[in-house]
């Protein structure tokens, strides 16, 4: 065979034991890199995973600790884990035989029975064909999920669903349909879980959600402040007497055998002492709950919307909300018509639809007849709290006329 310097060099290189090991190690390294690259490509096609859990404290700490086990997190359990869905159909009424303050007080985690209403609205939205022009900016997957810059925090049976549906007509507002209940029930799931619930937004758009029970949840102000001190808060308030009756009516529709409104209102009917442990009464003491929020947020970051004016003048109240959010006044009188049957305004065109849209059948229920003496006793009870609330907000709502 003819002598070749190249072949001789290769033979000499391969015959060295040290160099053999270097070559084998190089090959093994390249194979490992290739496998890692393939794994990353595969994992990127899986649903979003919550890798870190942000756990806040009642003191308002902004970020929690990373979950660890022996210094290392189990990779398999992390890959298989899924964000927990939030519960949205629950009951807020204990059996009459268990009439303790803890079991009936929303401040002690009493649950809202009408979350099914939200799902009714969500199903209706899904059945409405999306407007191609409204969805064009999201058709290519553009935008990103952000934590909400504005939250409707209350109150239950005040008109929060109507306000949210009206606001979603605005092209610069993107909102979650159902209530996340993050800052009261699902806080341990972490901020990344919360963020994943939000819709995608483009630059200049506002992300919103609404959960009315936040307003009466003692821990909610500190937790929202820990997320962002710049969060804008919206509270829809309504005559507390009418609100309490509406609250009762809602529960009555679910459980027809509950005690009468009159019997639940008083601790003792003879003495006329109001039972403030009943959530239907407790929620309407707005001044008390607002005190808690003002420890974490200045008044100019909270907007109070009149539930009564949301019915009589929806465009006027929506104008105030749009100004508060720093948005152009796009939602005007032309977006509404008054539905005589339901007794409240409806949208001529809902978000993503060219058809009129009214809130579901669970809204606008007929109230039962309540003893006028009980109604007057409740008005007398709420009057000092209402006056204090007017002073705190600088707005007269006219509930005591």
pLDDT for 338 equals: 81
Confidence check: pLDDT of 298 > 60: yes
Instruction: Report whether 207 belongs to an annotated binding site.
Output: no
pLDDT for 30 equals: 84
Q: What is the mean pLDDT of residues 263-270?
A: 90
Pairing of strands 200-201, 150-154: unpaired
How far is the C-alpha of 177 from the C-alpha of 164, rounded, in Å? 8
Higher pLDDT, 75 or 172: 172
pLDDT for 271 equals: 84
Confidence check: pLDDT of 139 > 80: no
pLDDT digits (tens, 9 = 90+) for 334-349: 999 887 776 778 988 7
Angle at 371 between CA 366 and CA 375, to 5 degrees: 85
Instruction: Report whether 161 belongs to an annotated binding site.
Output: yes
CATH superfamily of 144-393: P-loop containing nucleotide triphosphate hydrolases (3.40.50.300)
Cβ partners under 8 Å of residue 308, min gap 6: 238, 239, 397, 398
Catalytic residue among 57, 82, 156, 157: 157
pLDDT for 16 equals: 66
State the maximum Cα–Cα separation within the chain, in Å, rounded to a whole number. Answer: 121
Domain boundaries, the chain: 144-393
pTM above 0.75, yes or no: no
- For all residues of the chain together, what is the average pLDDT? 76
Specify whether 232 is catalytic: no
pLDDT digits (tens, 9 = 90+) for 37-62: 666 554 444 433 333 343 344 434 44
Q: What is the mean pLDDT of residues 181-193?
A: 98
Instruction: Report whether 160 belongs to an annotated binding site.
Output: yes
Instruction: Report whether 246 belongs to an annotated binding site.
Output: yes
Instruction: Report whether 59 belongs to an annotated binding site.
Output: no
8 A C-beta contact, residue 134 and residue 171: yes
pLDDT for 165 equals: 92
How far is the C-alpha of 367 from the C-alpha of 250, rounded, in Å? 9
Confidence check: pLDDT of 211 > 60: yes
pLDDT for 353 equals: 59
The partner residues of 207 in beta bridges, in order of sequence, read 174
What HEC string does the chain produce?
CCCCHHHHHHHHHHHCHHHHHHHHHHHHHHHHHHHHHHHHHHHCCCCCCCCCCCCCCCCCCCCCCCCCCCCCCCHHHHHHCCCCCCCCCCCCCCCCCCCCHHHHCHHHCCCCCCHHHHHHHHHHHHHCCCCHHHHHHHCCCCCEECCCCEEEEECCCCCHHHHHHHHCCCCCEEECCCCCCCCCCCHHHCHHHHHHHCCEECCCCEEEEECHHHHHCCCHHHHHHHHCCCCEEEEEECCHHHHHHHHHHHHHHHCCCCCCHHHHHEEECCCCEECCCCHHHHCCCHHHHHHHHCCCCCHHHEEEEEHHHHHHCHHHHHHHHHHHCCCCCCCCHHHEEEECCCCEEEECCCCCCCCCECCCCCCCCCCCCCCHHHHHHHHHHHHHHHHHHHHHHCCCCCCCC
pLDDT for 367 equals: 77
């Amino acid at each position: 065979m003819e002598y070749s310097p190249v072949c001789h060099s290769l033979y000499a290189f391969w015959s060295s034991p040290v160099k053999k090991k270097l070559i084998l190690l190089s090959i093994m390294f390249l194979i490992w890199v290739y496998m890692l690259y393939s794994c990353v490509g595969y994992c990127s096609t899986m649903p979003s995973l919550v890798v870190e859990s942000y756990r806040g404290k009642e003191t308002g700490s902004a970020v929690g600790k990373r979950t660890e086990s022996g210094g290392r997190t189990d990779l398999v359990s992390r890959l298989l884990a899924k964000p927990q869905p939030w519960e949205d159909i629950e009951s807020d009424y204990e059996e009459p035989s268990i009439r303790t303050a803890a079991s009936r007080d929303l401040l002690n985690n009493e649950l809202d029975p009408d979350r099914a209403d939200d799902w009714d609205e969500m199903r209706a939205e899904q059945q409405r064909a999306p407007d191609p022009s409204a969805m064009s900016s999201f058709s290519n997957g553009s935008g990103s999920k952000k934590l909400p810059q504005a939250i409707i925090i209350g109150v239950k049976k005040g008109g929060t669903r109507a306000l949210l549906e009206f606001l979603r007509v605005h092209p610069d507002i993107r909102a979650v349909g159902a209530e996340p209940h993050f800052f009261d029930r699902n806080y341990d799931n972490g901020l990344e879980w919360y963020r994943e619930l939000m819709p995608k937004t483009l630059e200049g758009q506002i992300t919103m959600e609404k959960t009315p029970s936040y307003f009466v949840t003692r821990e909610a102000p500190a937790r929202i402040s820990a997320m962002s001190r710049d969060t804008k808060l919206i509270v829809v308030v309504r005559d507390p007497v009418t609100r309490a009756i509406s609250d009762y009516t809602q529960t009555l529709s679910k459980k027809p055998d509950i005690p009468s409104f009159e019997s639940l209102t008083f601790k003792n009917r003879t003495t006329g002492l109001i039972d403030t442990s009943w959530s239907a009464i407790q929620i309407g003491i707005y001044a008390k709950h607002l005190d808690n929020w003002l420890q974490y947020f200045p008044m100019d970051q909270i907007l109070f919307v009149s539930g009564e004016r949301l019915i009589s003048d929806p465009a006027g109240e929506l104008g105030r909300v749009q100004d508060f959010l720093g948005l152009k006044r796009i939602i005007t009188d032309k977006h509404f018509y008054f539905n005589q049957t339901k007794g409240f305004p409806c949208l001529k065109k809902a978000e993503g639809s060219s058809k009129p849209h009214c809130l579901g059948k669970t809204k606008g229920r007929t109230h039962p007849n309540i003893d006028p003496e009980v109604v007057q006793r409740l008005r007398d009870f709420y009057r000092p709290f209402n006056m204090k609330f007017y002073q705190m907000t600088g707005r007269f709502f006219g509930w005591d006329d």
